[in-house]
Amino acid sequence: MQADDARLVARLRAGDQVAFATVVRQWSPAMLRAARFHVRTHASAEEVVQEAWLAVVRGLDGFEGRAQLRTWVFRILVNVARRRGRAESRVNAELREPTVDPGRFRDDDDPYPGHWRAEAAPVSWGPEPVLLAAEVRAVLEKGLAELPERQRAVVELRDVHGFDHEEVCELLDLTPANQRVLLHRGRAKLRGVLEGVLG
């Protein structure tokens, strides 16, 4: 460890807030830029930087000084950013698919492109008690069990167990936007399942 670096690490380990605030202010802009390379949105990059600093705070005692402090901090940052980037691209792949069969909507050369085709439009399911019938519930339970794991986790926690969106984001390590994408896809699929028996 170089002398400056060793002094800085010692100050940080001793809980010197000025030293910490200084490095956070100095290094965060570059960290933000590097994070942004891996993730889709600026907000997501900010979260990554924050998460990386928290990991630094937690790991400070384990820093062995084999690399420069800055190198070590950025290595943590990149790990967090890559992990987040991979999670986002998984969600994005899921996001691209429409949740309703595009064949149910009018073609682009129709006077009302993208509107429901009369014969394929959703039909009312009738009075609510129908939904509580045992057979309908069984179909819904089966549909839930067949959802992709990530969608199933979000839908079950939100709609079956009644957790709020913040709790779910925290539990599943999701950004609010990704949580909504998974919720939307899961719910839309289950609507389709119910439509199969009720529509």
Partner 1 sequence: MTPRDIACIELVELLTDYLEGALPPDEVAAVEAHLETCAKCRTYLAQMKATIEALGAVTVETLPDEAYDTLLTAFQDRFR
CA dihedral 49, 53, 55, 57 (to 10 degrees): 180
Q: Which residues bind to partner 1, rule: CB under 8 A?
A: 98-100, 102, 105, 112-116, 121-125, 128, 131-132, 136-137, 140-141, 144-145, 155-156, 159-160, 162, 165, 176-177, 180, 183-184, 187-188, 190-191, 194-195
The whole-angstrom separation of Cα 16 and Cα 41 is: 32
Least distance in angstroms from the C-beta of 184 to partner 1? 4
Tokens of 83: 């992990």
Question: Is the separation of the CB atoms in 67 and 75 below 8 Å?
Answer: yes
> Quick one: which of 92, 63, 85 has its CA closest to 75?
63
Instruction: Decide whether 30 or 121 has the Cβ nearer to partner 1.
Output: 121
Instruction: Decide whether 54 or 160 has the Cβ nearer to partner 1.
Output: 160
Q: Helix, strand or coil for residue 116?
A: strand
The whole-angstrom separation of Cα 98 and Cα 109 is: 20
Instruction: Decide whether 54 or 121 has the Cβ nearer to partner 1.
Output: 121
Instruction: Decide whether 17 or 124 has the Cβ nearer to partner 1.
Output: 124
Question: Is the separation of the CB atoms in 81 and 38 below 8 Å?
Answer: yes
Instruction: Decide whether 55 or 139 has the Cβ nearer to partner 1.
Output: 139
The whole-angstrom separation of Cα 192 and Cα 27 is: 49
Other CB atoms within 10 Å distance of the CB of residue 67? 14
Instruction: Decide whether 72 or 105 has the Cβ nearer to partner 1.
Output: 105
Least distance in angstroms from the C-beta of 122 to partner 1? 5
The whole-angstrom separation of Cα 173 and Cα 2 is: 37
Least distance in angstroms from the C-beta of 186 to partner 1? 9
Least distance in angstroms from the C-beta of 176 to partner 1? 7
Tokens of 47: 């979260």
